[in-house]
Amino acid sequence: MGTWLAVAAGGAIGALGRYLISGWIFGAAGRGFPWGTLGVNLIGSCLMGFLFIWVTQELKLAPVWQAIMVAGFTGAFTTFSTFALEALNLMMSGRTLVGLAYIAVSVVACLGMVALGMKIARVLL
């Protein structure tokens, strides 16, 4: 199986997991705050860290399995987990300022891009 197909397969399972967990478990907590998204992001970030160590360093699985589990499943379960892993890896590698800059730019720029996309949609639609 090609790596791209492995990521797609893992991604399909991760996306379904996000939908089910966010809606069924965390959806019961109420609609006034995005508990489902927060819960999935927290679970996914923890899972990303665990799987990264487990499949790459402990089990030393083949790259295709790493792609299925880390990039595919957890990447689709929550892209926030990938962001968190990358930021933490930058800081743990001694590039603390780069990691902090990545966090700041990502949060501010992505919020700005959502606002821009909404504005473009309102103008065009």
What's the confidence (pLDDT) of residue 30?
A: 65
The letter for the amino acid at 61 is L
Show me where the domains of the chain are located: 3-93, 94-125
Task: Determine if residue 56 is labeled as part of a ligand binding site.
Answer: no
Mean pLDDT of 79-103: 92
What's the confidence (pLDDT) of residue 35?
A: 79
Per-residue model confidence as pLDDT tens digits over 27-71: 666 676 777 888 888 888 889 889 989 998 889 999 999 999 989
What's the confidence (pLDDT) of residue 88?
A: 94
Q: DSSP alpha helices (H): ranges in 54-78? A: 63-66, 75-77
What's the confidence (pLDDT) of residue 27?
A: 65
Per-residue model confidence as pLDDT tens digits over 112-125: 988 998 899 899 98
Task: Determine if residue 82 is labeled as part of a ligand binding site.
Answer: no
